[in-house]
Chains A and B, each alone.
Chain A
Amino acid sequence: MGSLVQSVDWLAIAPPTVTAVVALAVLVADLFLPDARKPLLGRIAVAGLVLAGLSLLPLLGGDRSTFCLTTGTRVCSYTADHFTLVIQFLVLGGALLTALLSFSALDDLELPHGEYWFLLLSSAAGAALLPASRDLATLVVALEVASLPAFALVGLRRGDSRSSEAALKFFLSSVTATAVTLLGVSFVYAATGTLHLAQVAEGLTHVDPRLATLAEAGVALTLVGFAFKTAAVPFHFWVPDTYAGAPLPVAAYLSVIGKAVGFTGLILVTVLGFPSYADVWGPALAVLAALTMTIGNVAALRQRPERDRSAVRLLAWSSVGQAGYLLVPIAAAGYAGGPGHAIGSTVAYALMYAAVNLGAFAVAALVARTSPGNRITDYRGLYARRPLAALALGFFLLCLAGLPPGVIGLFAKVTVFTAAVDAGLGWLAVVMAVNVVIALYYYLQWTAVLFKPAAGQPAGEDAEAPQAPRSTGRIPLPLATAIALAAALGIALSGAPQLVLRFASGALL
């Protein structure tokens, strides 16, 4: 009988740990830095995220596990395998881009520096922990670490009633979902007697018949919680108001990392935890996917371009639509023999989506500096004012739409599509095709607006006159870097789609 104390592989857990430690360091440093030097905190945060990203490199060599049981089956709570590393890369990269977006927004909106960076890094640490968790307790803890700071981030604009309302909406619905998840987890624990995903999977195949209903209810309730995080219909209603009310970088963060968290959790729970219930969650997720993409895209189509904050609202609804595409391969994994292949499609799509969606938000953040209304009509003539930013946004939107020159968007959609067809989900493929066409319309329309000649001074412009000197200024360096990074990623992937698509061809997980 060995020691009950589990050994810790510090290298394996470095990515989330570094992020968390830097978060604490920022919080402490905030206490001692004078106001004038607060911008330093942002640089520390960016450096921390880069460091955490670099700590992924030594892990590429092979799978590592830690926090393993010292007795019995020796299952582990933390695994740094291929899947984990890819998602951690996505999370840390996404957080880095968000951080770059945040610099100018922090000054413009006068948000508290210390708190902001601490919350962002904490949330990123939770998100980085999540893909590595292999037991339900760690999973829920990671999910909460990722979500709780996000509520605060949404409500960070003190004195802004819309921001507070958004935060409250987000908080209430999220907490309800977590409570439901916890109830589900406890049911699953009651039925199987374990929290480790591998053992849950095994235990669920021979549940005591008297507990079968309990186990089924547990599976369903657990999934509901994760479906909420992914903003799948019918748990999507918080998205548009939250995005529109939150500071823009936070909305960008939620649209990418918030979603990645939900999806990773969903993948881990379904594929690793509940494979024996594939006949239940497979069709359920397929229906969810169809509903999510349809409702998201139809709502995005109905956004009126002249409405206040229509740009962010459109991105919010389109992200609901994109969540639908991301769900398709997970649903397909419930049918296919080798779920790893289907999961790879989701991962490939998520990587593409992360890069271009953050890019689109970055350009939106740039435009928001001069026209805080952030209406789609404000983008009219952007090409004449800022040609490079307009070209970048056009490229991001076409990637999201899946049209050349956004080649990577097209191929990511093709892999998702193939996953659906391979799983025999022909109807879902057709629904997806119709949705892609609907989405084309609004993405194209927005793209076309960028290149139209600017109309005469809009009426609302005068009200912003005191801020006019900023409008002529150069793009702040961090924001420019964020746009350039996202664009470079998108272009590189369009030239060599194999970089991400190989996840879809090989088995992941």
Chain B
Amino acid sequence: MSHTVLQILLAAIVVVPLLGAVAALLPAPPGLKGRSPEQAVLRHGVTVTGVVLALSVALAAGFDHGHPARMQATTDVGWIPALGIRMHLGVDGVSLPLIVLTALLTFLCALYSYGSPPRERGTDPKAFVALILVLESGTLASFAVLDLVLFFLAFEMVLVPMYFLVARWGGDGRERAAWRFILYTVLGSVVMLLGLLLVGIKGGTFDMVALATDNGSKLSHTTQLVAALAIGVGLAVKAPMWPLHSWLPDAHTAAPTTGSVLLAGVLLKMGTYGFVRIVLPVTPDGAHSLAPYLAAFAAVGIVYGSLVCLSLARSGAKGDLKRLIAYSSVGHMGFVLLGIATLTPTGVNGALFANIAHGLITGLLFFLVGAIKDRYGTSDLDTLSGATGAALYGRAPRLGGLLAFGAVASLGLPGLAGFWGEMLAMFGAFRPADGLSRPAYLTFMVLAGLGTLLTAAYMLVVVRRVCMGETTQEAPVVADVRTYEFAAWTPLAVLTVLAGLWPAALLGLTDPAVQQLLRGGN
């Protein structure tokens, strides 16, 4: 495919959702009115996200897989000459999978909302669809831009729709959770902005590619350290890294199903992507100095997340299933951060793989938990399981089976997507980059290994309590997987299996790009 076509594809991927968001707010044109205004606008959401997904698949198809390290589909036009800020877009092997994942998850969310419209408090589905589309545009933009300031803008653009999704369509405690979410991430990203400005002013450009090629040669060690710390804090809030994670469980618990799926599946990835795209290549010395601390926090996060999940899964703990999945995200993102902190190609590749795997698996789990909450009216584990267990296998076999599938994928069963990323991250920690303390990293690796055991433990407890149990006759009938749910979930399950069986497809894309980023962009 020619360069121009790719250029247009990438630009369209970012712009189409925005246009779609505006169109969603306008009255539907004649001929597209549908059965009701609600139905029409939800269908509009499916159409637009579907188009974006098709565009991103076309982009992936047109992408030159022989040279995934090269920036492709690049557009570079001036925007604010006064500050040297340019509209610079492009994709390489690192960002392409994330773009496709984002487009896919948003499409599935739109599909799911079409089948199960947001009914809470009679709110307007127009605003809902528009917000989802703005969210999609912001996320896609943050993976596609190659200018530090644009990255910040895209990063921030996501907050507004997410805030409203939680605050208006969320469950109990939504206002507090939304406020906490926005406060944490805004404060984090302001610190990040300072770091980005420091890099931009001292490095003489905001262009990520140019800065990566310089590989920190224009920045003094102190500058790099301060910049890496500032940028790292902003990204770590988003990722989230223990101990900056405390906004996440509340936001997830309160968010509507689609909000949770997008938050876990896509938004968290922006944090880890930023580490790989900005911190590692632009401030290599700073990253090198801070990597052991990042790895330590990541290892603590893995164990902490698993322990919290274990305590939530105990019977009598009044654990909320959504909250549990949220804490399991803290653990999984810990693996991603550990992989990045090894500064080795193996570790970073593992991190990127785990990123995608987490997006697929946790996305699926949040969908499933949302469906369970819809059916039972609660996601409280004790209420759900009662005395013997919720017995989903018996009462809704497909739903139970999918939940068990998601759980074993999440605990990292070999052959499924969850396995490779975490294994590679630990493998990277076994032999970290030169100059990093090997004994320390071996300790982190052991901690991470302990985390996988704990993860297996709580996931199996969840499966036992939710899926197994005795089916009693008087219990209310639970609907099994409906058609729209099937449509929304199958792709995730299939991709989880595919990524687990054929990891080379993904690693082949990321590896050359990662090698180049770690080497300094050339």
Give residues in A with beta carbon < 8 Å to B: 403-405, 407, 410-411, 414-415, 417-418, 421-422, 433, 436-437, 440-441, 444, 448, 451-452, 497-498, 501-502, 504-505
Contact = CB atoms under 8 A, between A and B. Distances in A.
A451 B187 contact: no
Interface centre among B82, B157, B194, B197 (most CB of A within 10 A): B82
Contacts of A440: 186-187, 190
Contact of A501 (B83, B157, B186): B83
Interface of B: 79-83, 85, 149, 153, 156-157, 160, 163-164, 167-168, 175, 179, 182-183, 186-187, 190, 194, 197, 201
Given A444-B182, A451-B167, A414 B187 contact: no
11 contacts: A407-B153, A410-B153, A411-B85, A414-B83, A418-B201, A421-B197, A444-B183, A448-B167, A448-B182, A451-B168, A498-B80
A504 B201 CA distance: 15
Contact of A436 (B82, B83, B190): B190
B156 A404 contact: yes
B80 A497 contact: yes
B164 A421 contact: no
A403 B194 contact: no
A404 B156 CA distance: 6
Interface centre among A414, A440, A444 (most CB of B within 10 A): A414
A433 B195 CA distance: 11
Contacts of B156: 403-404
Contact of A404 (B81, B82, B153): B153
A437 B190 contact: yes
A321 to B, nearest CB: 15
A89 B51 CA distance: 45
A496 to B, nearest CB: 8
Contacts of B167: 448, 451-452
B42 to A, nearest CB: 21
Contact of A505 (B81, B186, B201): B81
A93 to B, nearest CB: 21
A421 B201 contact: yes
B94 to A, nearest CB: 24
B237 to A, nearest CB: 13
B183 A505 contact: no
Contacts of A418: 83, 197, 201
A221 B452 CA distance: 70
A403 B80 contact: no
A421 B160 CA distance: 30
A451 B163 CA distance: 11
B190 A433 contact: yes
A414 B81 CA distance: 14
Nearest to B84: A505
Contacts of A504: 82
Nearest to A432: B194
B83 A411 contact: yes
Contact of B197 (A404, A414, A497, A505): A414
A421 B199 CA distance: 12
B187 A498 contact: no
A418 B157 CA distance: 23
B194 A415 contact: no
Contacts of A411: 80, 83, 85
A440 B187 CA distance: 8
A452 B175 contact: yes
A417 B197 contact: yes
Contacts of B82: 415, 497-498, 501-502, 504-505
Contacts of A448: 163, 167, 179, 182
Given A441-B183, A497-B82, A504-B82, 4 more contacts: A411-B80, A505-B81, A505-B82, A505-B83
B273 to A, nearest CB: 18
A160 to B, nearest CB: 37
A444 B186 CA distance: 10
Contacts of A422: 201
Contacts of B164: 451
A505 B186 CA distance: 28
Nearest to B182: A444
B192 to A, nearest CB: 12
A306 B433 CA distance: 57
A422 B202 CA distance: 10
Contacts of A421: 197, 201
A501 B186 CA distance: 24
A398 to B, nearest CB: 9
B71 to A, nearest CB: 25
Contacts of A497: 79-80, 82-83
A397 B397 CA distance: 51
A251 to B, nearest CB: 28
Nearest to A505: B82
Contacts of B168: 451
Contacts of A414: 83, 149, 197
A451 B82 CA distance: 35
A408 B179 CA distance: 24
A441 B190 CA distance: 12
Contacts of A501: 80, 82-83
Nearest to A497: B80
A433 B85 CA distance: 20
Nearest to B178: A448
Contacts of B186: 403, 440, 444
Contacts of A452: 167, 175
Nearest to B156: A404
Contacts of B190: 433, 436-437, 440
Contacts of B163: 448
A185 B204 CA distance: 43
A422 B182 CA distance: 32
Nearest to A506: B82
The 5 closest A-B pairs by CB, nearest first: A505-B82, A501-B82, A404-B156, A498-B80, A497-B80
Contacts of B160: 404-405
Contacts of B85: 411
A505 B81 CA distance: 8
A452 B176 CA distance: 12
Contacts of B182: 444, 448
B12 to A, nearest CB: 19
